């Protein structure tokens, strides 16, 4: 056998542990990764191009399909950006904001459950997978009752919500938020003290704070490297400043730290959901902006103004004044940003999405180079990527 | 005059290079000359604390001169503050220096900008297409690139 022979291995795009259609070209020296080159774009659908040819409302369903594990977070980021462009952020009714926060946190739980399930499955802990999907199913049922769809919710609207919450749903959400911390305890019981789990995650995929900021990591991945930054607290939106929650940070910057940080974050999400349920009061769900928000059906059939507004919004859309805004939100995977440029027409002139997974994936080579091939699987899992939003 | 603290400091150090300052919806955009983008970026990161590049993208203003804008959305983690830098780029010289030496995260963003809009980045470590296939022709997010694709008739509407 020749020494120092580098072997090139193709991993993906049809590999189950790449969480979608990610292709990695790995150059190996024995079992050690010398170089890792991600190839992306297999799922590119041209969302940004499409949005330039649609009205602002028509783009909301496209955002569902970015990070399809957290559709409501995408909806939220997009509608907040459009509301900022229209300068109607202050007009969003309290009930709509509370429901948005509640559902965004429920979405965070949903996303983190899939992350934990697949991450654990990838590195050999099969049982957790089934339990996580059981809880995720409960969230899907809530999603279905609220929006009619289990995944592509398309529920938020520019100015508020598409419909009010169905009767009795708050009881389901309350029951879930009360039961969830015990489930998280159980996941911890299966993993945290587990020697195999610790061996597979501790000291694996390390990244320090300076490198994490340089490469652009956000969300739990950045906070696990000791950077105390959470947009919900630092640049609050939708009334997050009124909720009492902790921002979880860890110092170690390894896969185990990211695991612990996300689990603790799920507990905080349960707290926020409970607070939102306490806060939830009856009231309007759409802003009083007749040129932007679709009127209630009874106004459409009973008043000429309602009919005209409905007709105008459906056929033409609304026209924000020319300008540009950037809105970032704390999505489950990190900072999800929408940069919108308006030229005064009914379509965005340019929409740029800043997907957290795209930027987080960029850190993969430096996290795995020099480590073992098996740790690549752990590193992909811990970055919590979704190819739908990477490729857009 | 603008309220934003970074504007004054940037104007002081780069008085020749600041072209325009726009305030819209509480956000500040500073338009600067492209020749000095690396120096300005380094100054923003080291002196003013904008240590995080959230996003970098290009915008095609077809029909205006200069045709392109490269947009840098910056964030200051210590002050929790956002700032946007825009740089005009001409169509016949669609090149700008890379800022991946200042913020490592710019690497993939610049690749995407090249892929989608055909703006090239000087001294970039790895300027390849990122979302489209390697042999793809054209840059899809340019305004003169048809929505239906390069070899298709433009959509005429359902009723025709």
Residue range B126-140, pLDDT digits in tens: 889 999 888 888 899
- Both tokens of A42, joined, read 């297999």
Tell me the pLDDT tens digit for each residue of A186-203.
999 999 988 989 998 988
Q: Could you give the C-alpha distances from A307 to A56, A285, A288, A317, A319, in angstroms and in order?
A: 20, 20, 16, 14, 19
CA angle B144, B72, A92 (to 5 degrees): 90
Give the model's pLDDT for residue B1: 46
Interface of B with A in 26-65 (CB under 8 A): 27, 29, 51-55, 57, 59-60
pLDDT of A309 above 70? yes
Are B103 and A216 in contact (CB < 8 Å)?
yes
How far is A124 from chain B, CA to nearest CA, in Å?
A: 32
Cross-chain CB nearest to A339 (options B53, B55, B131): B55
The verdict on a CB contact (< 8 Å) between B59 and A214 is: no
Confirm if A26 and A373 have CB atoms less than 8 A apart. Answer: yes
Whether residue B149 lies inside any domain: the answer is no
Average pLDDT over residues A12-24: 80
| Per-residue pLDDT at B79 exceeds 70 | yes
Chain B residues 60-79 with a CB less than 8 Å from chain A: 60, 71, 73, 75, 77
At residue A340 the predicted structure's pLDDT band, cuts being 50, 70 and 90, is: very high
Domain for residue B154, yes or no?
no
Residues of B in contact with A35 (CB under 8 A): none
**Which DSSP letter does residue A241 get?**
G
pLDDT confidence of residue B7? 82
Residue A15 banded pLDDT, cuts 50, 70, 90: confident
DSSP output for A318-361:
--PPSEEEEEEEEETTEEEEEEEEE-SSSS-SEEEEE-HHHHHH
pLDDT class of A315 with cuts at 50, 70, 90: confident
What pLDDT, on a 0 to 100 scale, did the predictor assign at position A365? 92
pLDDT given at position B138: 86
Q: With bands split at pLDDT 50, 70 and 90, how would you rate the model's confidence at A290?
A: confident
Residue B101 placed within a domain: no
- Residue A372 pairs in a beta bridge with A32
Per-chain mean pLDDT for chain A = 90
- Substitution target in A249, A350, A351, A361 with the highest count of B β-carbons within 10 Å is A350
Return the beta strands (E) in chain A as ranges.
Answer: 7-11, 23-29, 32-39, 156-157, 160-161, 323-331, 334-342, 350-354
pLDDT at A100 over 60: yes
pLDDT at position A114:
93
Contact assignment for A359 to B116 by CB distance below 8 Å: no
The torsion angles phi and psi of B9, rounded to 5 degrees, stand at -65, -35
Compute the distance between CA of residue B158 and CA of residue B160 in angstroms, rounded to an integer: 6
pLDDT at A337 over 80: yes
CA of A43, closest CA in chain B: separation in Å? 9
CATH code, domain with B61:
3.30.460.80
At B26-57, the pLDDT tens digits run 888 999 988 889 989 999 888 888 989 999 99
Position A293 confidence tier, pLDDT thresholds 50, 70, 90: confident
- pLDDT-derived band at B110, boundaries 50, 70, 90: very high
The predicted model gives A319-332 an average pLDDT of: 92
At A262, list the tokens. Answer: 């996300």
Has residue B3 got a pLDDT over 80?
no
Q: Is residue B60 assigned to a domain?
A: yes
Report pTM. 0.90
Q: Which of B27, B59, B107 is opposite residue A362, by nearest beta carbon?
A: B107
How many other CB atoms sit within 10 Å of the CB of residue A308? 13
A317 backbone dihedrals φ, ψ, rounded to 5°: 85, -175
Q: What is the ipTM of this complex?
A: 0.88
Q: What is the pLDDT of residue A260?
A: 92
Q: Which two tokens stand for residue A105?
A: 């946190």
Provide mean pLDDT across the span A123-140. Answer: 90
Indicate whether B87 belongs to any domain: yes
User: Does the structure show a pLDDT above 80 at A385?
Assistant: yes
Domain that holds residue B18: 5-94
d(CA B16, CA B21): 13
pLDDT band for A273, please (50, 70, 90 cuts).
very high
Is residue A133 very low, low, confident or very high in pLDDT (cuts 50, 70, 90)?
very high
How high is the pLDDT of residue B24? 87
Domain count, chain B: 1
pLDDT (average), residues A4-21: 81
Per-residue burial over B122-148, b if 16 or more Cβ lie within 10 Å, else e, is eebeebebbbbeeeeeebbbbeebeee
Identify whether B105 is part of a domain.
Answer: no
Say yes or no for a CB contact (<8 Å) between B55 and A213: no
Q: What percent of chain A has pLDDT over 70?
A: 99
**Residue B158's pLDDT band (boundaries 50, 70, 90)?**
low
For the segment A147-198, what is each residue's pLDDT rounded down to a tens digit?
988 888 889 989 889 888 998 899 999 999 999 999 999 999 999 988 989 9
pLDDT tens digits for A200-227? 898 888 898 999 999 999 999 999 999 9
In a domain, B139, yes or no: no
The distance from CA B69 to its chain's CA centroid, rounded to whole angstroms, is 6
């Amino acid at each position: 056998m020749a020494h120092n022979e580098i072997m090139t291995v193709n991993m993906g795009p049809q590999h189950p542990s790449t969480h979608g259609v990610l292709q990695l070209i790995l150059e190996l020296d024995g079992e050690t990764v010398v170089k890792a080159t991600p190839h992306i774009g297999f799922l590119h659908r041209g969302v940004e191009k499409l949005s330039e040819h649609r009205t602002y409302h028509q783009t909301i369903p496209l955002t569902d399909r970015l990070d399809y594990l957290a559709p409501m977070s995408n909806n939220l980021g997009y509608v907040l950006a459009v509301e900022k462009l229209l300068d109607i952020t202050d007009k969003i009714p309290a009930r709509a904001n509370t429901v948005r926060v509640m559902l965004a946190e429920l979405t965070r739980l949903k996303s983190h459950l899939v992350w934990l399930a697949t991450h654990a499955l990838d590195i050999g802990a099969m049982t957790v997978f089934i339990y996580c999907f059981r809880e995720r199913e409960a969230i899907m049922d809530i999603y279905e009752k609220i929006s009619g769809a289990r995944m592509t919710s398309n529920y938020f609207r520019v100015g508020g919500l598409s419909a009010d919450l169905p009767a009795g749903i708050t009881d389901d959400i309350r029951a879930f938020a009360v039961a969830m911390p015990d489930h998280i305890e159980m996941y911890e019981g299966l993993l945290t003290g587990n020697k195999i789990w610790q061996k597979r995650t501790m000291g694996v995929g390390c990244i320090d704070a300076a490198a994490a900021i340089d490469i652009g990591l956000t969300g739990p991945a950045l906070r696990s490297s000791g950077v105390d930054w959470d947009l919900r607290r630092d640049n609050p939106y939708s009334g997050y400043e009124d909720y009492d929650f902790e921002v979880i940070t860890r110092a170690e910057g390894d896969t185990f730290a990211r695991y612990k940080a996300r689990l603790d974050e799920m507990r905080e999400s349960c707290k926020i959901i409970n607070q939102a349920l306490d806060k939830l009061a009856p009231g309007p769900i759409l802003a009083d902006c007749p040129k932007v928000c679709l009127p209630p059906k009874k106004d459409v059939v009973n008043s000429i103004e309602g009919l005209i507004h409905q007709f105008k919004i459906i056929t033409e859309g609304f026209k924000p004044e020319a300008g540009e805004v950037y809105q970032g939100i704390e999505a489950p995977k990190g900072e999800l940003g929408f940069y919108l440029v308006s030229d005064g027409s009914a379509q965005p002139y340019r929409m740029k999405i800043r997907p957290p997974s795209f930027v987080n994936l960029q850190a993969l080579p430096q996290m795995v180079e020099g480590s073992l091939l098996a740790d690549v699987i752990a590193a992909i899992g811990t970055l919590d990527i979704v190819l739908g939003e990477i490729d857009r | 005059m603008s309220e934003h603290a970074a504007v004054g400091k940037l104007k002081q150090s780069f008085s020749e290079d600041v072209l325009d300052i726009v305030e819209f919806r509480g956000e500040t955009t500073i338009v600067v000359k492209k020749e000095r983008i690396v120096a300005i970026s380094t100054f923003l990161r080291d002196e003013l604390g904008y240590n995080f590049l959230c996003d970098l993208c290009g915008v095609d203003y077809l029909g205006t001169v200069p045709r392109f804008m490269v947009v840098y959305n910056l964030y200051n983690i210590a002050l929790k503050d956002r700032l946007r830098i825009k740089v005009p780029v001409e169509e016949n010289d669609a090149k700008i220096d890379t800022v991946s030496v200042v913020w490592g995260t710019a690497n993939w963003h610049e690749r995407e900008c090249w892929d989608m809009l055909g703006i090239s980045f000087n001294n970039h470590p790895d300027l390849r297409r990122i979302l489209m296939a390697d042999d793809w022709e054209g840059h899809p997010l340019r305004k003169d690139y048809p929505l239906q694709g390069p070899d298709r008739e433009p959509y005429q509407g359902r009723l025709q």
